[in-house]
Amino acid sequence: MSLNIIYIITSGDSLHHDNLLANFKSFQSVQIMKGYDIVGDVHGHALLLERLLGKLGYETENNSFHHPLGRKIIFVGDLINRGPDSVKVLRLIQRMHDQKQAFCVLGNHEFRLLQQYVKDPYSIEMKFLEFIPWIKTLPFFLEFPEFRVVHAAWHFSSIEKLKNQNVENEDFIRSTIHPDSEFKNAIKIILQGIKVPIPSEITYLDRFAIKRKKARIRWWEKNKRMLNGTNIFPACKKLISAEFENKGEQFCEYYSKEEKIVFFGHYCLPEYEPKVINNLVCLDGCVTCNQTLWGYQYHKREIATSERLVRTN
C-alpha cells in the first residue's frame, strides 16, 4: 500500500538509511536530504521545465537531472496536457523519480487520466499508456516534517479520508467514478479546490474573461456565510462589493498560520497575484498562458517567503 508521509533523518541519526531507501517508491522512505525545490504545474512544457531545473541548480546526467548539493525536486502535479510535450515531461520526471531525485503528487489531470483508463483503456491517448503503471505509484499528497504538498487544497477531513487509499488499486479508482462514492468529494477538494455557485444575477468572469457559474475560493479561510470577490482565488476585484451567500456544498476548513507550510498548484494565478500568503505557497502561474514556470527553493526551518521563488523568466 502506498502511503503519503515522508520521514526524514539527518546524517547524525543512528538509523541505517540505505535499507530504508529501498522503500522510496512506496513513499515510506527515510533518507538524508540537503534541501528541496518545489515546482508548480508543468502541463507538458518540457523546455520550460528543463530551463527551471537549470535555474534551480540541477545538472544533466544520464538523460536526467540531479543537484550537485543533493537537493531533491518535488512536483505538485498536473504534469500533462495543454503544453506541447507531455510525453517528454512524463519521461523526464519519471526518470528523476526512479533515480530518487524527485517526488511527485497526483494532479487532477493525472487522476482524470487514471479514471478514464480504468473505464476504458482504449479511450486514452496511446502516448500515455506506457506511463500508467508509474502514475499509479504517485500519492495524493505528501507530508514532510516541516511542510506539506498537495495539488489544490490541504483539506484536513479529505486528507484523513484518503490517507490509506492509493491509485494502484483499480477498484478504488473505479469507485471514485460512482456518484455516491464516499471518496469522490474528498478527491475533488484536494485536487480541484473548493467551488461555490455564483448567483445568476452576478456576472463572474475569470482571469480569461470566461463567464463562470462557480468560483474557486480561498480554501484555507474559515467557512463564511457571505462571500465577495476577495474570497475568490485568485481574487476578483470586480466583485469586491458584490456580496453573495455561500451556497456551496463543500466547506472550507481553516488552515491556521501555525500549521506547516503547504505547497500547492492548480489555480493559474495571474502575474500580480501573490504566490506566497503566510504559510501557503501556490506555484501555478498558468504556464501555458504566461509561458512562465514557477519553483520554490525550500531551506530547512524557515518561514515561507517570496524571496525563495524562482521563475523561468
CA dihedral 246, 252, 256, 261 (to 10 degrees): -120
Q: For cell 506511463, what's the residue?
A: 131
Same domain, 63 and 129: yes
Task: Report if residue 236 sits inside a domain.
Answer: yes
Same domain, 181 and 208: no
Over residues 145-153, the mean pLDDT reads: 97
Over residues 287-310, the mean pLDDT reads: 95
Task: Report if residue 298 sits inside a domain.
Answer: yes
Q: Which three cell numbers stand for residue 151?
A: 495539488
Residues pairing with 261 in the sheet: 147
CATH of the domain at 281: 3.60.21.10
Q: Can you point out the beta strands (E) in 114-240?
A: 141-143, 147-150, 195-197, 214-216, 226-227
> What is the distance between the alpha carbons of residues 285 and 313, in angstroms, rounded to a whole number?
12
Residue 26 has pLDDT above 60, yes or no: no
Q: Which three cell numbers stand for residue 312?
A: 523561468
> What is the distance between the alpha carbons of residues 246 and 263, in angstroms, rounded to a whole number?
26
Residues 41, 266 contacting (CB under 8 angstroms): yes
Task: Report if residue 257 sits inside a domain.
Answer: no
Residue 37 has pLDDT above 50, yes or no: yes
pLDDT digits (tens, 9 = 90+) for 221-263: 999 999 999 999 999 989 999 999 999 989 999 999 999 999 9
Whole-model pTM: value is 0.89
Least confident of 27-36, 37-46, 75-84, 201-210: 27-36
Same domain, 107 and 212: no
Task: Report if residue 12 sits inside a domain.
Answer: no
Number of folded domains in the chain? 2
Same domain, 224 and 280: no
Q: Label residue 21 by pLDDT band (50, 70, 90).
A: very low
Task: Report if residue 11 sits inside a domain.
Answer: no
Radius of gyration of the chain (CA): 19
Q: What is the pLDDT of residue 34?
A: 80
- Which structural domain, as residue segments, surrounds residue 282? 32-191+262-311
Q: What is the pLDDT of residue 4?
A: 52
Same domain, 56 and 171: yes
Pairing of strands 294-298, 309-311: antiparallel
Residues 266, 192 contacting (CB under 8 angstroms): yes
> What is the distance between the alpha carbons of residues 265 and 75, in angstroms, rounded to a whole number?
9
Q: What is the pLDDT of residue 16?
A: 37
Q: 3-state DSSP helix/strand/coil percent for the chain, to nearest 5?
A: 30, 20, 50
Percent of the chain with pLDDT over 70: 89
Mean pLDDT score of the chain: 90
pLDDT digits (tens, 9 = 90+) for 41-67: 999 999 999 999 999 999 998 889 999
